[in-house]
Amino acid sequence: MKKVIILGHFALGTNNLNGQTIKTKIITEALQDQLSSREVGIEDTAGGWRFLLRLPLVVLRMLRGAEDIVILPAYKGVRVIVPMLVCLNVFFHRHLHYVVIGGWLPDYTQRLPLLRFFLKHIHHIYVETHSMLQDMERQHFTNVCIMPNCKPLSILSEDQLPPHNLPYKLCTFSRVFKEKGIGEAVDAVKRCNEQFGSTVFELDIYGQIEQKEWFDNLMRNQPSFIAYRGTIPANQSTDVLQNYFALLFPTFYKGEGFAGTLIDAMAAGVPVFASDWHSNAEIVEEGRTGFLFPVHSVDALVKILIKTAEQPDILQQMRVICIRKAYQFLPDVVVQTFLRNLSGQ
């Protein structure tokens, strides 16, 4: 019998880059490092309706095969997987863990009282931020704890921080769709350059395009200082981002939790200019690791950009703080919370 079996969207054999898949793989690899790969098994939820047909057999196989069961479903899967797992576990008495990816769960459980009932029979639910924990506690959950997002990144050393010269290079580094605020980032950079009367900022957009028609329209006839740079392998993010003056994150995505791009930026010593949306203020410390501005406020982002362009030295100490903070979000550090909750510990 294995110690742990993990059920999640691994998308084995594909190049899937969404946050759900990336975090599932990161958590799994961290646990395999800590417990040895022989003690950690996996079950892949990829396959859509075909997987759902197999789900009862998969759940039974997991309950027979491990002392601790870990699930990482998205909002569609949680309504099916959690009730089935909880009901069948009446006969097996395994230790159940649910690692939540993103910030959507508190709103979801508020609307779905039956799901809320089943989730209260999970032994441990791990959320990414304090605000999520507080929202769950207001719904009378007592089985929730914080396990922040994490990434296995190479963290830049302080003496590796490169100098920045005009034009200052900015970037977005997330999946590419409207709700990530990429249009707002484009508008802010264009307005800054118009006010200065020259190209003070360049904006590079990275990430997997998920709304192609919208993005094609956005990029049509953009000036040369706005460019799409494709996707970057996860293990190269520090190398790429370290060359940027700041990372722009004007998100208003309703499912936003602790976005992995914030860890990428910290590891590279790059301050983040982020919308004050969901839990961003917990991670982006105002004046220390970045700046916050009201959601959708291009005017406020423009003011931050102008201020930092006129006083670029104010970012230097912030870059050092980013690097130091990044060590808190290495996977081997973060999964200690989970390891303490394993059965028999």
Residue 182 buriedness (CB in 10 A; 0-12 / 13-18 / 19+): buried
Q: What is the pLDDT of residue 16?
A: 63
Strands (E), the chain: 2-8, 40-44, 66-72, 95-99, 124-127, 144-146, 168-173, 201-206, 226-230, 246-249, 272-275, 290-293
Structure tokens at 162: 């490169």
Name the pLDDT band for 345 (thresholds 50, 70, 90): low
Q: What is the pLDDT of residue 37?
A: 81
Mean of all residue pLDDT scores within the chain: 94
- The domain ranges of the chain are 2-150+331-340, 158-328
Q: What is the pTM of this model?
A: 0.91
Whether the predicted pLDDT of 344 surpasses 70: no
Q: What is the mean pLDDT of residues 18-25?
A: 84
Name the pLDDT band for 293 (thresholds 50, 70, 90): very high
Q: Which of 53, 50, 49, 55 is nearest to 7 (CA)?
A: 55
Structure tokens at 257: 């939790």
Whether the predicted pLDDT of 12 surpasses 80: no
Higher per-residue confidence, 21 vs 178: 178
Instruction: Check if the beta carbon of residue 35 is closer than 8 Å to that of residue 27.
Output: no
How does pLDDT run across 229-259, given as a tens digit for each residue?
Answer: 999 988 899 999 999 999 999 999 998 999 9
Structure tokens at 262: 């914030």
Q: What is the pLDDT of residue 105?
A: 95
Whether the predicted pLDDT of 1 surpasses 90: no
Whether the predicted pLDDT of 36 surpasses 90: no
Least confident span in 201-205, 230-234, 266-270, 313-317 = 230-234
Crossing angle of helices 49-65 and 75-88, rounded to 10° = 40
Contacting residues for 200 by C-beta, under 8 A, at least 6 apart: 166, 167, 168, 192, 193, 309
How far is residue 254's CA from residue 82's CA, in Å, rounded to a whole number?
Answer: 22
Whether the predicted pLDDT of 50 surpasses 90: no
Q: What is the pLDDT of residue 15?
A: 65
Structure tokens at 274: 């982020």
Q: What is the pLDDT of residue 318?
A: 97
51, 57, 62, 65: CA torsion to nearest 10: -140
Q: What is the pLDDT of residue 14?
A: 63
Higher per-residue confidence, 28 vs 234: 28
Report the DSSP pairing between strands 144-146 and 168-173: unpaired
Q: What is the mean pLDDT of residues 28-45?
A: 92
Report the DSSP pairing between strands 124-127 and 144-146: parallel
Report the DSSP pairing between strands 2-8 and 290-293: unpaired
3-state helix/strand/coil string of 173-197: ECCECHHHCHHHHHHHHHHHHHHHC
Q: What is the pLDDT of residue 11?
A: 77
Least confident span in 69-78, 175-184, 267-276 = 69-78
How does pLDDT run across 97-136, given as a tens digit for each residue?
Answer: 999 999 999 999 999 999 999 999 999 999 999 999 999 9
Same CATH topology for 2-150+331-340 and 158-328: the answer is: yes
Q: What is the mean pLDDT of residues 327-343?
A: 94
Least confident span in 43-52, 246-255, 266-275, 326-335 = 43-52
As a CATH number, domain 2-150+331-340 is 3.40.50.11930
Q: How far, in Å, are 118, 146, 240, 297 from residue 143 at the CA level?
A: 12, 10, 39, 37
- Among 3.40.50.11720, 3.30.70.80, 3.40.50.2000, 3.40.50.720, name the CATH number for the domain at 158-328: 3.40.50.2000
Name the pLDDT band for 225 (thresholds 50, 70, 90): very high
Q: Residue 200 gets which letter from DSSP?
A: -
Q: What is the pLDDT of residue 93?
A: 97
